[in-house]
Amino acid sequence: MRLFAIRDYRHLFGAQVIALFGTGLTTVALGLLAYDLAGPRAGVVLGTALTIKMVMYVVIAPLAAAYVDRLPRRTLLFLLDVVRGAVVLALPLITEVWHVYVLIGLLQAASAAFTPTFQAVIPDIVTDEADYTRALSASQVAYTMESLLSPVLAAVALTFMSFNWLFLGTSAGFLVSALLVLSTRIPEARPSAHTKAWDKAAAGIRTFFRTPRLRGIMALNLVVAAAGSIVVVNTVNYVRDELGGSQSHVAWMLAASGTGTLLAALALPRVLDRIAARTVMTTGAGVLVGGTVAAVTLVAAGLTTWIGTAVIWTVIGVGMALIVTPTGKVLRASVERNAIPEAFAAQFSLSHLAWLITYPVAGWLGTSAGFALAWSVLAVLAAAGAVGALLLWPRHDGPSVVTSAVTAARQVAGEDRSTLSKAA
């Protein structure tokens, strides 16, 4: 592929993939660490830790996007990877629950700054429009593959070792990622369309609120978060306490959701060539609503079986891919090129704001009131998001920014040719 012939992009993409897998392994290990420290209350610990993560993402990501063109980006990315590696290395040494919260706050603050910085670098390295579109797709494939393979790798590793070793492997991965970043030549940042830091931080969010299709994506973020929280937060306690599974069973159940995500992601490129993104994404919302309702039925009726759980987790994975995978394409078509980093940073922040709502429901309400009630609340939130998306994202919401720009350019070119003909 021509894209990977670009040395600097190849190194950066490698750094992203390694860091993603490190984050995925940390997520699995963190759930097991929470269970080791808190037992039946692991859902509260994990829900709180993930809530801290979302707060960091919502607050820090737009600020990082605002200042990214004022900082030496290669040095910043390198230092953020080093910080993440050091924090993960300290996680297996902790003995108190509050230690988890402090270290997760540091880890996710670094990740929240890393992602928008990385996204802002790519268009400066990959300058060709077609290659840049492929780079967006490659990043999404990396996220998809991580969701599948990280739990599988964790399950295999946990067969032979304690979950604490996952933290050590993750720390090493972040250091390798840092070295790859250091080997990359990153050009100076392009000037933003906004000069003031606050304007840049708020510009992407304002774009979301005034663009119909992006308002629809905000609603769809809630659908993804509501269904995804069941998988991310409650799988550990559900598999260990309800199904009587082991540590590796937890990882394999998470892999079931990742399998659904991967299968859908592999089929989507051809589907999106023929079917509008809105149709695909709202269909995904319907799938996720169905998945959450099925999960509620499973626990309310006492039908706690391995096969039933795996099927529902796989369905949720499919629904998440149907919404998440086309999102980058919709964002890219909705803003001008120099506003892309701000739009992606806004989506990063707003999507995690949705998770900030749903993680406490899954963790705190799930532990105190039971899975049935917590998952019922999440099912209602998913349904509200799905309905909101249909109402906020009109079936015909006008041409994209990119399409409009191309049309305008053609009109100008036509007018120029007409003028020259008359002059001749």
Tell me how far apart the alpha carbons of residues 395 and 79 are, in angstroms, rounded to a whole number: 45
Q: At what angle do helices 247-274 and 129-160 cross, to 10 degrees?
A: 160
Q: 356-369: per-residue pLDDT in tens?
A: 899 889 988 988 88
Q: Place 404 in a pLDDT band, splitting at 50, 70 and 90.
A: very low
Q: What is the pLDDT of residue 148?
A: 52
* Cα distance between the two ends of the chain: 46
Mean confidence (pLDDT) of the chain: 80
Q: What is the 8-class DSSP label of residue 186?
A: -
Give CA separation, 411 vs 337, 399, 405, in Å: 20, 15, 10
Q: Place 310 in a pLDDT band, splitting at 50, 70 and 90.
A: very high
How deeply is 57 buried, as exposed, middle or buried, from its count of CB atoms within 10 A (0-12, 13-18, 19+)?
buried
Q: Report the run of H or E that residue 212 belongs to, with start and end.
A: helix 212-237
Q: What is the pLDDT of residue 405?
A: 38
Q: 295-307: per-residue pLDDT in tens?
A: 999 999 888 889 9
* Predicted structure pTM score: 0.74
How deeply is 17 buried, as exposed, middle or buried, from its count of CB atoms within 10 A (0-12, 13-18, 19+)?
buried
- Asked if residue 151 has pLDDT above 80, the reply is no
Q: Place 1 in a pLDDT band, splitting at 50, 70 and 90.
A: low
Beta-carbon contacts of 248 under 8 Å, excluding residues fewer than 6 positions away, are 154, 155, 156, 158, 159
Tell me how far apart the alpha carbons of residues 76 and 112 are, in angstroms, rounded to a whole number: 12
Residue 286 and residue 386 in contact, taking contact as beta carbons nearer than 8 Å: yes
Beta-carbon contacts of 153 under 8 Å, excluding residues fewer than 6 positions away, are 21, 25
Dihedral through CA 24, CA 136, CA 141, CA 66, nearest 10?
A: 10
**3-class SS letters over 356-375:** HHHHHHHHHHHHHHCHHHHH
Closest CA to 335 of 189, 27, 123: 123
